[in-house]
Amino acid sequence: MAQIAVIERKCIACGVCAQSCPFGAIDLKDGKPEMNAACRVCGICVKACPEKAILKLETRTASVDKTKWKDILVFAECGRAGLHPVSLELIGKARELCKAVPGFKVHALLIGNKVDAAARELLHHGIEKAIVYDDESLSFFRADAYAACAEDCIKLLHPSVVLFGATSLGRSLAPRLSTRFHTGLTADCTRLELRENTDLVQIRPAFGGNIMAQIITTNTRPQFATVRYKVMDAGERLAEASGEIVRRSIPKAALESPVVPIAATALPPKKTISDAEIIVAGGRGLAKESDLELVKRLAAALHGEWAVSRPLVEKGWAPANRQIGLSGRTVKPKLIITCGISGAIQFTACMNGSEHIIAINTDKDAPIFETAHVGVVGDLYEIVPELCQRLEADGHAAL
């Protein structure tokens, strides 16, 4: 782990370091530099300092005893509608990962108020323990209170891996916990693998989606990761319940939270493209905005939803909630038809779990054909209208 240090006796308070920093990460106090949270430890200030008063220090974190950390803990997010589906997907994946390390079990963490039904449901998904924090003060999500409960659970179980859904709640809670335990966190993973030495291989697109990075946390525990909804497969629900429910007292830190909830307004339930079983998606191959009607028409003929890739959102042709991709939604329909989409990693990583993928593109070398189950090399302006006519004539949604 690297950090920037200032040798005060050498510093002449010239301010050159602050002027050279591209991130605005150096504050001058009485002319002396102090690094703030924006520091990327890039070392530009080290080279710029005329007095060599700034150093870049490299430190190595001592490895923990990995044998003292075992099992996988899944944060089971629960709202008014019950368990979030991503939690069951993560439990299913965690059970699969445990096969790589003999003796590893899956546990679930449940925080909220009146969550008995959710706790009992978790026992039908093959977990060993459901650790429950149930209190009226946890009716609302408060990051500090939930973090205090989760910290207590982690100190109780010492899990090697902790998984969160990449929901608004999960993305708020996971970083707080990784900071408390001084360990790593990988966000928005699309694949997970567990090595025999208990290192979790966290796979996600990186560098603008140009590569699939494999990230491991070798020296610290637990290993934190958030995973997008619809990326993993939920395990089969077991008819017989197994495991146990362990009820924990609410930590004092959670009860002393300075955050006071005033009211909550439930948003009306709304379907998104993530819930669709059939999707038709348009991309950069569409020549003009009005041509998006072709995509919508085919989607309607199939009784499905329409979606787009990022370029069309950036052009203002479609709202962001219709976008498939890393900066949009992850989908896993039974059928997806892509029209004029080249297939960049940012897009394919968020739809390649679909049961049937049909791609239409004029470029026979388009990356999308590596992902598609059926590839059609041709002009979408000829193919899509023909498909629409046949489906509309038949009066049903069968290809």
Task: Tell me which amino acid residue 334 is.
Answer: K
User: Residue 213 and residue 208: Cα distance in Å, rounded?
Assistant: 11
User: In this structure, how many other beta carbons lie within 10 angstroms of the beta carbon of residue 243?
Assistant: 18
What's residue 169's pLDDT?
96
* CA torsion angle 65 67 71 74 (round to 10): 0
Bridge-based pairing of strands 200-206 and 191-194 is antiparallel
Neighbours of 316 (CB within 10 A): 8
pLDDT at position 58, please?
A: 79
Task: Determine which of 156-165, 311-320, 344-353 has the lowest per-residue pLDDT on average.
Answer: 344-353
For 170-195, write each residue's pLDDT tens digit: 999 999 999 999 899 999 999 999 99
Angle, helices 143-157 vs 168-180, to 10°: value is: 60
Residue 114 CB neighbour total at 10 angstroms: 13
Domain boundaries of the chain, sorted by first residue? 2-58, 66-255, 273-394
55 and 62 in contact (C-beta within 8 Å)? no
How many Cβ atoms are within 10 Å of 395's Cβ, its own excluded? 7
> What's the rounded mean pLDDT across residues 47-70?
88
Quick one: which H or E segment has residue 203? strand 200-206
> What average pLDDT does the segment 186-211 reach?
90
- CA distances for 162 relative to 3, 175, 204, 221, 337, angstroms: 27, 12, 17, 9, 35
Q: Which residue in the block uniquely carries the two structure tokens 């782990």?
A: 1
- pLDDT tens column, 113-153: 999 999 999 999 999 999 999 999 999 999 999 999 999 99
Smallest Cα–Cα separation from 355: which of 376, 380, 372, 377?
372
| The pLDDT of residue 397 | 47
**The two domains 66-255 and 273-394 share their CATH topology (first three levels equal):** yes
Top-level CATH class of 66-255?
Answer: alpha beta
- The per-residue pLDDT of the chain, averaged, comes to 93
pLDDT digits (tens, 9 = 90+) for 224-244: 999 999 999 888 999 999 999
Q: For 336-392, what is each residue's pLDDT tens digit?
A: 999 999 999 889 999 999 999 999 999 999 999 999 999 999 999 999 999 999 999
Report how far apart, in Å, the C-alpha atoms of 142 and of each of 54, 108, 134, 169, 278 are: 40, 19, 14, 9, 36
The candidate with the shortest Cα–Cα distance to 203, out of 164, 195, 193, 73, is 193
Quote the CATH superfamily of domain 273-394.
TPP-binding domain (3.40.50.1220)
CATH architecture assigned to 2-58 = 2-Layer Sandwich (3.30)
Check residue 398 and give its pLDDT: 46
Per-residue burial over 89-103, b = 16 or more CB atoms within 10 Å of its CB, e = otherwise: bbbbbbbbbbeebee
Whole-number pLDDT of residue 212: 86
Selected residue with higher pLDDT from 393 and 101: 101
Mean pLDDT for 317-338 is: 95
- Span 68-88, average pLDDT: 95
At residue 399, the pLDDT reads 47
In the structure encoding, which two tokens stand for residue 116, read together? 């008995």
* pLDDT for the residue 260: 85
107 neighbors 95 (Cβ within 8 angstroms):
no
